[in-house]
Amino acid sequence: MSVFDEKYLMAEVASLSGLPKGKFQLWHGRYSITGAGHSPVGGGVKGAPRSFSFNHVMEFALAKEFVEAGVSPSMAFKFAPFFAYTGGDAFEGTPERCPGLPFHFEHGRTLFAINAKGHWIGCWEPSNPGTLSEVFNALENHFVMVNASTVFSRVCNRMGRHPYEILEEAYTCRPSI
């Protein structure tokens, strides 16, 4: 079964994202704002558990990484949804990226940088020194960056799945650039 078909309970999302359950509940109630079609299912009635998608797991895992890097939770949750719920088609040398996933591993590492004015998501291949120039140009010389590929790998490891297996499944039958 695909990680995108599975639903996760609140305790599972907290565990998979590396957060204590209490902090997850606090952040979910205070900061998490998801787009249409991405809201948790259920809840609101005593005994009716909420279920979350894999995209929610990635939203919280990335927000946690940014907070650990010194970003406020409100700023982390302002930008984490851009990674978790949006993707992009391949264009001008940039490969496709599915929502909630890093770029396919064959393209390199996925970096996610933010500052108060915006965000940047891109690939980093050690042989390409121009990647950091792109970030500096996009975010005006100051930003906080996380390695989204590493965050994704940690989430997959907590699930007992190999990250390459999930990426292969998600990007199979898609044209490569």
- Domain membership of residue 176 (yes or no) is no
CA distance 123 to 144: 16
> Does 153 map to a domain?
yes
> Considering the domain boundaries, does residue 156 fall inside one?
yes
Number of domains within the chain: 1
| Residue 104, both tokens | 């396919």
Residue 141 lies in domain: 8-171
Packing angle of the helix pair 54-68, 21-30 (nearest 10 deg) = 100
pLDDT band at 158 (very low <50, low <70, confident <90, very high): very high
Closest to 120 (Cα-Cα) out of 149, 158, 79: 79
Query: Would 52 be classed as within a structural domain?
Result: yes
Query: What token pair was written down for 108?
Result: 């390199």
Q: Per the domain annotation, does 1 fall within a domain?
A: no
- What's the predicted TM-score (pTM) here? 0.86
142 found inside a domain: yes
Q: What phi, psi does 141 have (nearest 5°)?
A: 75, 0
14 pLDDT more than 80: yes
pLDDT greater than 60 at residue 175:
no
CA atoms of 162 and 154, how far apart (whole Å): 10
pLDDT grade, residue 36 (50/70/90)?
very low
Where helices occur in the chain by DSSP H, the ranges are 10-17, 21-30, 54-68, 73-85, 131-139, 148-159, 163-171
pLDDT, greater one: 164 or 88: 164
Give residues with Cβ within 8 angstroms of 17, minimum separation 6. Answer: 24, 57, 58, 60, 61, 64, 155
